[in-house]
Amino acid sequence: MLTDYHIHIERGPYTVEWLRKFARQAQVVGITDWGVSEHAYRFIETRSIFMNDWVAARQTEKIEDYLSLILQAREQGIKVKFGIEMDYFPGKEKEIAEFIQKYPFDYVIGSVHWIDQWGIDLAEMRGEWDRREAQDVWVAYFDRIQSLAESKLFDIAAHLDLAKIFKYIPGDSKFLQQQYDRVAKALAENGTCIEISTAGLRKPVGEMYPHPELLKTCYSHGIPIVLSSDAHCPEDVGADYAKAVRLAREVGYSKVQVFSARKAEKYPLKNGR
């Protein structure tokens, strides 16, 4: 089994024709279980959760249109899962829970992109990294990942070490391992799956999420995995999966999680292309 649950179709219209391009690519690369996980910030229904100007300018869609597309696609024979990528914000757990519970998601991906009003992975805000100590940012970032897990709101934690995206990586390996240990412990204790994401290969850092040492730490805690591409265009669905599968096997993983109606089952991991 190969999965790709982290796919965004927002660069095109919410039409079956556009979605079918992603379905075809999934078939080409041998992905047997896949889904769309649009960014929650795109929807007007999340205005009580996202409270900054960057997001406000982009909250233009209605989630009912997104759900309607998924249902139409299924009626036409496209086997697609219905997911969402929801940013985690400390103190917004109630609002996030209320949003999630309203819709029939197959899985909910939790992610951290924001430290207060700073989007840590946004190119237009990259200069903020030069005004801060990398260790301080990593602590703040992993504080939020730990709280994300402890909230028990999410099925999957996305791109676990996204903080490395622009290569602002602390050089102290002991410090990094301390961060890895604490988040892995929180994820394991709260039953949160993680993704091996090939998206980092297409970013400035040029490596997958998570780093092999972080993935080894997660494996040692018994944390399950899914595979994800974080594709924003059809051609990136399942991108570099041979590398992702190789990394998973090197660490010790032999199975992946498959989600339906927010319930998970484990299936043997097959080779990627």
Residue 18 CB neighbours (<10 A): 14
Q: Would you write out the chain's pLDDT as a tens digit for each of its 273 residues?
A: 899 999 999 999 999 999 999 999 999 999 999 999 999 999 999 998 987 889 888 889 999 999 999 999 999 999 999 999 999 999 999 999 999 999 999 999 999 999 999 999 999 999 999 999 999 999 999 999 999 999 999 999 999 999 999 999 999 999 999 999 999 999 999 999 999 999 999 999 999 999 999 999 999 999 999 999 999 999 999 999 999 999 999 999 999 999 999 999 999 998 866
pTM for this model (two decimals): 0.96
Per-residue pLDDT at 53: 84
Q: For residue 5, what pLDDT is reported?
A: 97
State residue 18's pLDDT score.
97
Q: Which residue has the tokens 């795109």?
A: 42
pLDDT of residue 273: 67
Supply the CATH classification number for the domain 3-268: 3.20.20.140
Measure the CA–CA gap between 42 and 46, rounded to whole angstroms: 8
The domain ranges of the chain are: 3-268
